[in-house]
Structure 1
Amino acid sequence: MTIRRFGAAVFAATLLAPTLSACTGTAETGAGATPTVSGSASPAPSGTVSPGPSGAVSGDAKQALLNSTNEIKNGNFRFTMSGAGSTAQGQVHQPSQSAQLKISLGEAGSDLMLALDLIHAKPDSWVKLDLGGQVAPSLPPALRELNLDKYQHLDQTKIQGNRSLGFDFDKLDPAGSAVLTQGITEVRQTGEGAYAGTVDVSKAAEAGSLDTSLITALGAQAQSLPFTARLDPQGRLNELIIKIPATGQTEAQDVKITYSDYGNATEAPKPPADQTVEAPAELYNLLK
């Protein structure tokens, strides 16, 4: 049995592609699980400029969304991501050079369930791993032994460039919403702080919330995906939902990204020394 590479920036690696493969084939994690979309996702025809209820036209609406990601660059917020039966939640706290993310793929009743709790406190990183599901008992012993119920300290020289385990404090947004909003092709304001339109994600693989294999599978469809967005009263991005059509064996899904607690996140807690061990080679091989 192998577990495929997560394939996107540290925190959202598996949200948009099937990632777990069993000896007998692919284990779809949470197929059909689709977050509820708030707001309208019925954009006007591409290329039009549509005034919204407040009179804003497309150019003004796009600039509002571009500006809404500026505060993320300060690196002090909490966030969530969900899609394809996977969830991620965490916080980034640039003042302390720390971050934490909890990722969950599948459920206890799934063929294979994987949960990660990643903590970064520069210059150290730790991960706690939980492998479960129906096929967990048949996993190779080396993988089963990774379920230590302890945080495994990561060798920084082994995770440099690893988009599943590493974290770049020069690129503070795990979801890459600034990259995504730059790809907006049409947008209109649908209410106070609410927007809808289409976005081209064909060049947004670095965003972190989009898997490169999915973008490739979407083909030309990737150039015009419906989205909705909501801003908080200060004009900061609060929610972004992108609707992904079905491709091949992957069902249609919604990818939802939220941000909160701008300026009020806290330092990620370092695990106590008595709850940590050094990570074995099997862990790096599993998540490379």
Structure 2
Amino acid sequence: MTVRRLSAGLVAAALFTPGLVACNAGGTPQAGSSASPTASASGTGAPVSSDAKQALLDSTREISNGNFRFTMSGAGSTAEGQVHEPSQSAEMRVSIGQPTDDLSMRLDLIHAKPDSWVKLELGGKTATSVPGAQKLNLGKYQHLDQTRIKGNRSLGFDFDQVDPAGSAVLTQGITEVRETGAGAYAGTLDVSKAAEAGSIDPAVVTALGPQAKSVPFTAKLDPQGRLNEMVVQIPAAGQTAAQEIRITYSDYGNATAAQKPPADQVVEAPAELYNLFN
């Protein structure tokens, strides 16, 4: 496998790009989910139910208040964390690949405005081939220069757009939806309108072509009508295998302030770290 720089969407969009860094023991890209999406999650081809769509649009409003825990998973990668707008802080733990892969990665990110830190760990037999690996301060919290990560979706965090998954953008792209049970919905999304959603890689959207306009999804709301789970079934496209993107939200209003790393565990991030993610 050729180790290359990581694209800027690692923590968000490119987190769900199969084969970005993870390869299996044989050196072939992982295929992501083996699910076979259907043409329509509801199977009816019915027009959009205005009540159902409005319920889903409304379900994302509480996310904008910036006080929740979340998870995202897809294409052999996972992310979990919390956002706490009252303290202007957030944290995220990202894992890409498995220990048996040629290369796997784990990032622990802490944001406490105006500062950010990342602890990076690499695994797999090709880890030492990562550019600048010997200077990456692996296993230590690295303090990030904000001027070098501004707009970088891998290392930065925008407290004006507090949802890492961009579920509000996703729900605005609903093209068909129906209620399947109490607080449960199924339908299709036009993900070509979701370029700003952190959970969808723009490169995958491009690869989907016309399929991008009708991607199956399901969603569940909690008893208060807030989004609890969204699952998007991305069809296979080009060299990208079919994948299931799963997003969950919990503990609305009950997140806590992120804890800054102990000073004795912090070093300044070297140029090699920024080069890896740019």
TM-score (structure 1 length as normaliser): 0.88
Q: Partner of 2:261 in structure 1?
A: 271
Rounded to whole Å, the distance in 1 between the matches of 2:252 and 2:175 is 27
Query: Is 1:48 aligned with 2:47?
Result: yes
| CA contact 1:193–1:230 (8 Å) conserved in 2 | yes
| Equivalent in 123, 142, 151 of residue 132 of structure 1 | 123
Return the letter of the residue paired with 1:282: E
Query: 1:149 offset after TM fit, Å?
Result: 1.3
Rounded to whole Å, the distance in 1 between the matches of 2:209 and 2:176 is 19
| Equivalent in 114, 138, 149 of residue 105 of structure 2 | 114
Query: 1:21 offset after TM fit, Å?
Result: 8.3
Rounded to whole Å, the distance in 2 between the matches of 1:262 and 1:196 is 23
SS at structure 2 position matched to 1:20: coil
Query: 1:44 offset after TM fit, Å?
Result: 1.8
| Equivalent in 197, 213, 220 of residue 230 of structure 1 | 220
Q: Partner of 1:249 in structure 2?
A: 239
What pairs up with 1:168-207 in 2 under 5 angstroms?
168-207=158-197
Query: 1:19 offset after TM fit, Å?
Result: 1.8
Rounded to whole Å, the distance in 2 between the matches of 1:4 and 1:138 is 13
Query: 1:12 offset after TM fit, Å?
Result: 4.8
Return the letter of the residue paired with 2:171: T
Query: 1:204 offset after TM fit, Å?
Result: 0.7
SS at structure 2 position matched to 1:72: helix
Rounded to whole Å, the distance in 2 between the matches of 1:34 and 1:147 is 36
Q: Partner of 1:52 in structure 2?
A: none
Stretch moving more, 123-132 or 142-151: 142-151
Q: Partner of 1:18 in structure 2?
A: 19
Rounded to whole Å, the distance in 2 between the matches of 1:17 and 1:206 is 19
SS at structure 1 position matched to 2:119: strand
Percent identity (aligned)? 67
Query: 1:265 offset after TM fit, Å?
Result: 0.3
* Structure 1 residue runs of 4 or more that deviate by more than 2 Å after TM superposition: 10-13, 30-35, 40-43, 137-140
Return the letter of the residue paired with 1:170: D
The unaligned stretches of length 5 or more in structure 1 are: 50-57
**1:129-168 superposed Cα distances (whole Å, 9 cap, x missing partner):** 011112124445x214425311000001111111111111
What pairs up with 1:38-117 in 2 under 5 angstroms?
41-45=41-45, 48=47, 58-117=49-108
Query: Is 1:162 aligned with 2:152?
Result: yes
Aligned residues: 271
**1:96-133 superposed Cα distances (whole Å, 9 cap, x missing partner):** 00000111110111111011111000000000001111
Query: Aligned Cα RMSD in Å?
Result: 2.2
TM-score (structure 2 length as normaliser): 0.91
Query: 1:7 offset after TM fit, Å?
Result: 2.4
SS at structure 2 position matched to 1:14: helix
| CA contact 1:2–1:21 (8 Å) conserved in 2 | no
Return the letter of the residue paired with 1:234: Q
| Equivalent in 4, 8, 31 of residue 6 of structure 2 | 4
| CA contact 1:43–1:196 (8 Å) conserved in 2 | no
Rounded to whole Å, the distance in 1 between the matches of 2:13 and 2:95 is 10
Rounded to whole Å, the distance in 2 between the matches of 1:162 and 1:148 is 20
| CA contact 1:20–1:27 (8 Å) conserved in 2 | no
| CA contact 1:3–1:21 (8 Å) conserved in 2 | no
| CA contact 2:53–2:177 (8 Å) conserved in 1 | yes
